[in-house]
Amino acid sequence: MKFFRPLKTINFLNMKNKNKLGFGMAIGIAIGTAIGVALDNIGTWVAIGVALGAGIGSRLNQIEKRKEEELN
């Protein structure tokens, strides 16, 4: 019997047909947390990281839509 399935690897560079907003926010939270720990102000920097990550993810979505429109 197989109880454990092997995990599928996630290729972040080849994220076709996926929303990049979540990816951008995750990166923003990670960077915000790292800066917050270093500066001893986690709450502020996590919020800043979420905001910047949402902006980056939104921009990545716009770029992807433009590329799709150019191909069609």
Asked if the model's pLDDT at residue 72 lies above 60, the reply is yes
> pTM score, two decimals?
0.69
Rg over CA atoms, the chain: 16
Through-space distance between the first and last CA atoms of the chain, rounded to whole angstroms: 48
Exposure b/e, 12-29, CB count within 10 A at least 16 = b:
eeeeeeeebbebbbebbb
Task: Give pLDDT tens digits for 3-62.
Answer: 665 555 555 555 565 778 888 899 999 999 999 999 999 999 999 999 999 999 999 889
pLDDT at 54: 92
Closest C-alpha to 54, from 62, 43, 42, 65: 62
